[in-house]
Chain A
Amino acid sequence: MLKLVVRGIRANLGRLVLTLISVVLGVAFVSGSFVLADSLRSIFDQISEDAFAGVDAQVRAVEPELNSSGENLVRFDESIIDEISALPEVDYAEGGIFAFEQTYSLLDDGEVNRPLGPPVFTSSWGGPSPVSSFTVVEGVAPIGQQVALDSAQANAGGFAVGDQVTMSLPTGEPEQFELSAIIDFGDGGTGGAYFNLFDLDTTQRILDSGDVVDSVVVNGGGTDTDVLLAAIEPLLPADVEVVSGETVIGESQEDFGSVIGIFGNILLSFAFVVLFVSIFIIYNTFAILVGQRTKQLGLLRSIGASGGQIRFMVLIEALIIGIFASIVGLFGGIGVAWLLKLLFSAGGNSFPDGPLEIRLRTVIVVVAVGLFVTLISAIIPAFRASRVSPLEAVRDGGRKERSVSFRLVAGAVVLIPGLVLLALGMFGDVDGTAARLAAIGIGAALTFIGVSMMSALFAGRAAGMIGGPVEATRGINGRLARDNASRNPQRTAATATALMIGLALITGVAVLASSLLATFDDLLEDALTADLFVYEANQGLDFSSGVVEQLDALPSTDSVAGFARVEMLVDGDVEAVTGFDTATGTSVINAGILDGTAELSQNGIAVFDETADERGWGLGTTVPVEFEDGFVTDLTVEAIYDDRSIVENSFIVDRRLSRQHVQIDAVGFVGITIADGVDAEVARAEVETITDNFAQLTVQDNTEFQEGVEGQIGQIQIVINGLLVLCLVVAFFGIINTMALSVLERTREIGLLRAVGMTRNQLKSTIRWEAVIVSIFGALLGILMGLLLGWAAVVAIPDSFISKVGIPWLSLVIYLIVGGIIGVIAAYFPAQRASKLNVLDAISHS
C-alpha cells in the first residue's frame, strides 16, 4: 500500500509541488506571525530590562480615577527627591518629568525634524547614573540651555555635539540649545522614536509644569529591595506610591507585550485567511488528481483493493504532503517574519534588530495547522476515490458529476447559515461591535464555502458568458479557451474560489475605506463649519491651550473654538467629556442641537440625545459632576444634541469651566472661522504666524483635512492589502496548478490541434485566455462578494464611525483587471509546457 502511495507521489511530483506551495505559503505566514511576535517580545523584554537595570525602586503617583491628560503621568511635588536622597538606604535618587510630542529640533530651514509615525519624547535627564535609561554615545549631560538628542535624530538633523540647535517648545517661542550629548535609549532600540533630554529645571520650565516630577527612580546600592521600599514608604504623600524595579520592568514588558500581542494576533488572523484560501486549492488539486486516476483506482479496486484502502491511500498521500509542507513552512516563517518587518518598516515603524526565534509552541501549532489543513482538504477527494467502482477501470472517461440538486442542497446547507450570520451581524440584536464583526467573519467564511460549492452550478455558463467577447475577438483560439473554461464547471469554480476570496476581502476593505471617506465627506459638509483647523496631525495629541487665545486675538479670525477631552465623574460614572468653547463654537461646528441653547453657561452641560433618553434627563435636569482635581459641583442640562461626530463624546461642558480643573490645560483641536471680508489666504498666513511657533501643529482647510484623512486611510489600506496579497499569491498558484493539470489531461487534444495546424503561439494564446476567463470569473465573484461583505461591515459598524456606503468604482475595475493579469501570468508556465509538447508524443499520450 505504502509503496503505491510513494509511487503516486513520485509520479505526480510536479503537480504536488505546486499544491505544496499553497500549503507552505499559508503555514509560513502562521509561522512568521509567531516568529515575529516572539522575537519582538524577547527584544522588548530585553530593552525593558536594560532600561531599568539600575532601578531598585520607583516612586510615582497612583494612577488616578480621572486623568484628562491621557498619556502623561500624574505629577507630584519635587521636594520628595531630597527627602529620599537623604535616606541612608538610598544610594542615588533622581526625579524626572516626561512628555509626549512637546519639543522638536528644527532643521536649518525651520522645518520640524521628526520621525514619520513614531513619537518624539521630551524628558529630563540627570546624566549617566545607575538609574539612567540612556547611554551616552558622545558628550556630557545637558545643563541649563543645553540639550541631548538621540543619535537617529542627530543624524537626521546633521547635528554634532557643540552645535547650537533650535528647539521648538510648547511655549510657542523656539529657543537655541547647545547640543551637549548624543544619547541612545538603552542600546538604541527605540522603534524609531526621538528623544529630547534637558536637565530637570529646564524641562520643568519648558513644560511650564512648576516644580513637579512624575517619577523618582532610586538605586539602593545593594540595599534589600523590601527594606528600601519600607524606608521610602513613610515619606510619601497621599496618592503617591513606591514600587520595586522588578515591578517597573514587569509592567513595561507587559505594556510592550500587549501591543505586540495585538499585532501578532492581527498577523495571525491574516495568516488564517490565507490558509482558508489554500484549503480550496489543495482540495481542488486532490480532486483533479483523483479524477485523473479514476481508471487506475478502478483497476486497484478490480484486483481487490477495498474502498477503505483507497481512501487510506489518498489520505496518506495528503499526510505526507502536509508534513512536508509544515516543515518547509515552519522555516519559511523566518523569511515571512523578515518580509513582514520590511513591510512595516516601509510604513515608518522601524523594528529593533534581534534574532528571529522559533519557539516550541510555534513548531507544534504550525505542524498541527499544516496537517489539519491538508487532511481536511483531502477528505472529500479521498471519499470520492474510495467510491470509484472496479468498472471504471474499463469505462472511458467515466467521470461522475454530482447531481445539480445535490450541489444545490449541499451549497444551501452551508450558504444559508452563512448569510444568516451575516445578517445577524448586520441587523441582529447582537451586543458590541466585536461580536457583530465575529458574526460577520464566520458568516463570511461559510458564505465563501457555500458560494464556492454552488458556483459550480453556474460556473460553466458564466465562463461561457465571460468568454463571449474573447471568442468574438480572438476567433478560434478564443472559442477553444471559452469552451475549455466552461467544460468542467466544478474545476473552474474551485479554481476561481481562491481568487474570489482574496479579491472579496480586498474589495471589502476598499468598500470600508471608501465608506469611511464618504462618511467623512458628509461630516465635513454638515457638522464642521469652520474654515480652518489646527491640530497635531501626527499622533493627534493635545497641545497648549494658549494657542486658542493667540489665534482669537488675530484680526483676521472671527470665531476660534478649542476642544479638550476631559475625564469627569458624571452622575457617579467616569465619562469622557468635551470641554468646548461653546460661546464661539456655534459657528465652528454644528452639533445638531435639538433642544436648548448651544451656548452653555459655566454651570451648564449638554447631553447627547440617546444618552439623555437612557438616563431620563431633559433640559433643566441637575447633574452632579466631579473633576480630576476633586472639584465637585452640580451642572444643569442646558442643551440636547444629536451629532457627536466632531464632539466625539456624549457630554459637553464649557471649556471656561473645565480648564480650571485639569492638571494640564491643553486642547486637541481648534476650529477657526475667518472674519468677514478677509481673504482666505491672508487669514491663513496670519494663523500660521502663530502655529509656526508650535512645530507640531498643522493648519488645514476643509480640503486638506479631507486629503489628510484620505491619505491615512489609504496607508492603512496599503498595509492590509499587503497582507491580503498573499491570498492572491495562493490563488495564483492554484490557477497555475489547475491549468497545468488541465493541460496534462488534454495532452492528446493538444497534439491533435497541433497536428491539424495550430501554431505554438495559438496554443499558448488559447491556454492564456482560458486562464483569464477563469480568473475573471473568480474576480467578478470576488468583487460581488466583497461588495456584500463591505456593505455588511458598514452596517455592523456604529454610525458614529461609518454611516454611509461608498463604492470604490475605480478600484473595482482595477481589481478585475488585476484578476485578468493574474490569469495571464499564471497561464505562462502551463502554456509554455503545452507548446513544447511533441505533436506525436502528445497524440499517442494515453
Chain B
Amino acid sequence: MTVTEEAVRWAARADRASKIYGSGDTEVHALREVSVGFEAGRFTAIMGPSGSGKSTLMHCMAGLDRLTSGSAFIGGTDLGTLNDKQLTKMRREQVGFIFQSFNLVPTLNVRENVTLPSDLGDGKIDMGWVDEVIQTVGLGDRISHRPNELSGGQQQRVAVARALATRPEIVFGDEPTGNLDSKTSAEILEFMRRAVKDLGQTIVMVTHDPVTASYSDRVLFLADGQIVKQMDDPTPDSVLDTIKSLGD
C-alpha cells in the first residue's frame, strides 16, 4: 500500500465487528472480529463462499442490522450509538442499498422510486442530479413507468439510481447483478464504475462472479466470518486464481 493512514478518508469502517446468530448449540459466528475500512471514492467488491458472512457484513455496516460486538462507522458516526430513528435517518441520507431483487415500491413510478429516500425525509434533493442519474442509467424515457412495466435489468438500474440519488456517503449492493444476464450486468457495472470514477461515489458490492468483481478497484475475500485476503486492481483471471488458491 502506498497511501499513508492520514491521507485516507473512510466512507465506512468496521472495527473488530462480530455478529453471532442464535445461542448455545445453534450459535453461528457470522462475523469474527472483522476490521475493515472502505475508502471514499473507491469501488470495493466482497467475495467469499456461501455462508462466509458477506451479506451480514453489508447489513451491519449499512445500519440494517446490529453487531453483536465491535463497532461499525458511516463517515464518523458509530452506528452502535444510534437509536432506531437515527439509524433510519442515516440509511435515508447517508447510505444507499441495492438488493438482489425486489428493490422498488410497486405503486411508485421510476422517478418516485428514485426520490423515495429524500421524500421520506425533508424532500430536499438536487433534481438536476436526480435527472442526470436517471439519464445516465438510461431510463430517461421510462420516468413515469411503474416497476411492473420494467424488465429485471431496468428495475436494477432504477435501484442503482435510487441508491445514488441522495449522494450518500456509501452505497452497498448485495449481489446487485446476481439475477441478470451478463450483458445487462455489464451495463450496470459500467455505470457503477463511472459513478465512482467520475462522480466520486463510494460503492461496496457483494458478488460471486469474478468478472463482476473485476469492475471494482479492490476485492476483499471473506471466509468463515473473517477477511482472508485483499486484492487491488482485480482482473477476472486474478480473482479466479485467488479464489482457487483460497479453496486449497
Give the interface of A toward B (CB within 8 A): 475-476, 479-480, 483-484, 487, 748-749, 752-762, 839-840, 843
Are A752 and B88 in touch, CB under 8 angstroms?
A: no
Are A483 and B108 in touch, CB under 8 angstroms?
A: yes
Are A756 and B65 in touch, CB under 8 angstroms?
A: no
A670 to B164 Cα, complex, angstroms: 86
A761 to B116 Cα, complex, angstroms: 16
Are A757 and B93 in touch, CB under 8 angstroms?
A: yes
Expressed in whole angstroms, the minimum distance between the Cβ of A588 and any Cβ of chain B is 69
Are A757 and B105 in touch, CB under 8 angstroms?
A: no
* Pairs A–B under 8 Å by Cβ, sample size 12: A475-B119, A476-B123, A484-B107, A752-B99, A756-B120, A758-B88, A760-B88, A761-B85, A762-B120, A839-B64, A840-B59, A840-B65
Question: Cβ of B117: which chain A residues have Cβ within 8 Å of it?
Answer: 756-757
Question: Cβ of B119: which chain A residues have Cβ within 8 Å of it?
Answer: 475-476, 479
Question: Cβ of A476: which chain B residues have Cβ within 8 Å of it?
Answer: 116, 119-120, 123
Instruction: Name the CB-closest residue of A to B174.
Output: A843
Give the interface of B toward A (CB within 8 A): 59, 64-65, 84-85, 88-89, 91-93, 97, 99, 102-108, 112, 116-117, 119-121, 123, 162
Question: Cβ of B162: which chain A residues have Cβ within 8 Å of it?
Answer: 756
Are B84 and A475 in touch, CB under 8 angstroms?
A: no
A762 to B89 Cα, complex, angstroms: 12
Question: Cβ of B97: which chain A residues have Cβ within 8 Å of it?
Answer: 755-756
Question: Cβ of A760: which chain B residues have Cβ within 8 Å of it?
Answer: 84-85, 88
Are B107 and A755 in touch, CB under 8 angstroms?
A: no
Question: Cβ of B65: which chain A residues have Cβ within 8 Å of it?
Answer: 839-840
Question: Cβ of B112: which chain A residues have Cβ within 8 Å of it?
Answer: 479
A752 to B112 Cα, complex, angstroms: 14
Known: A749-B105, A752-B103. A757 touches B64 (CB 8 A): no
A476 to B116 Cα, complex, angstroms: 8
A759 to B162 Cα, complex, angstroms: 18
Known: A480-B105, A749-B105, A840-B59. A758 touches B99 (CB 8 A): no
Expressed in whole angstroms, the minimum distance between the Cβ of B163 and any Cβ of chain A is 9
A432 to B162 Cα, complex, angstroms: 69
A483, A839, A840: the one contacting B107 at CB < 8 Å is: A483
A756 to B102 Cα, complex, angstroms: 12
A283 to B84 Cα, complex, angstroms: 39
A484, A487, A761, A840: the one contacting B64 at CB < 8 Å is: A840
Known: A748-B102, A840-B64. A756 touches B91 (CB 8 A): yes
Expressed in whole angstroms, the minimum distance between the Cβ of A594 and any Cβ of chain B is 68
CB-CB nearest 4 A-B residue pairs: A757-B92, A483-B107, A476-B119, A757-B117
Question: Cβ of B91: which chain A residues have Cβ within 8 Å of it?
Answer: 755-757
Known: A475-B119, A475-B123. A487 touches B93 (CB 8 A): no
Are B121 and A757 in touch, CB under 8 angstroms?
A: yes
Are B99 and A843 in touch, CB under 8 angstroms?
A: yes
Instruction: Name the CB-closest residue of B to A760.
Output: B84
Question: Cβ of A487: which chain B residues have Cβ within 8 Å of it?
Answer: 106-107
A843 to B103 Cα, complex, angstroms: 9
Are B88 and A754 in touch, CB under 8 angstroms?
A: yes
Expressed in whole angstroms, the minimum distance between the Cβ of A562 and any Cβ of chain B is 72
Are B120 and A758 in touch, CB under 8 angstroms?
A: yes
Are A749 and B106 in touch, CB under 8 angstroms?
A: yes
Residue in B88, B91, B116 whose Cβ sees the most chain A Cβ within 10 Å: B88
A299 to B104 Cα, complex, angstroms: 27
A761 to B85 Cα, complex, angstroms: 9
Query: 13 extra interchain contacts, Cβ-Cβ under 8 A, other than A757-B120, A759-B84, A839-B65?
Result: A475-B119, A476-B119, A476-B123, A752-B99, A755-B64, A756-B91, A756-B92, A756-B97, A756-B116, A756-B120, A757-B117, A840-B59, A843-B99
Expressed in whole angstroms, the minimum distance between the Cβ of A765 and any Cβ of chain B is 11
Question: Cβ of A475: which chain B residues have Cβ within 8 Å of it?
Answer: 119, 123
Question: Cβ of A480: which chain B residues have Cβ within 8 Å of it?
Answer: 105, 107-108
Question: Cβ of B108: which chain A residues have Cβ within 8 Å of it?
Answer: 479-480, 483
Instruction: Name the CB-closest residue of A to B91.
Output: A757
Expressed in whole angstroms, the minimum distance between the Cβ of A319 and any Cβ of chain B is 36
Expressed in whole angstroms, the minimum distance between the Cβ of B98 and any Cβ of chain A is 10
Instruction: Name the CB-closest residue of B to A477.
Output: B120
Expressed in whole angstroms, the minimum distance between the Cβ of A461 and any Cβ of chain B is 15
Question: Cβ of A756: which chain B residues have Cβ within 8 Å of it?
Answer: 91-92, 97, 116-117, 120, 162
A748 to B102 Cα, complex, angstroms: 8
Residue in A475, A754, A759 whose Cβ sees the most chain B Cβ within 10 Å: A759
A840 to B65 Cα, complex, angstroms: 7
Expressed in whole angstroms, the minimum distance between the Cβ of B111 and any Cβ of chain A is 12
A843 to B91 Cα, complex, angstroms: 15
Instruction: Name the CB-closest residue of A to B119.
Output: A476
A480 to B97 Cα, complex, angstroms: 20
Instruction: Name the CB-closest residue of A to B116.
Output: A756
Question: Cβ of A479: which chain B residues have Cβ within 8 Å of it?
Answer: 108, 112, 119
A753 to B105 Cα, complex, angstroms: 8
A642 to B91 Cα, complex, angstroms: 79
A756 to B107 Cα, complex, angstroms: 16
Expressed in whole angstroms, the minimum distance between the Cβ of B124 and any Cβ of chain A is 12
Residue in B99, B112, B117, B120 whose Cβ sees the most chain A Cβ within 10 Å: B120
Question: Cβ of A839: which chain B residues have Cβ within 8 Å of it?
Answer: 64-65
Instruction: Name the CB-closest residue of B to A397.
Output: B148
Instruction: Name the CB-closest residue of A to B86.
Output: A759
A749 to B105 Cα, complex, angstroms: 6
Question: Cβ of B99: which chain A residues have Cβ within 8 Å of it?
Answer: 752, 755, 843
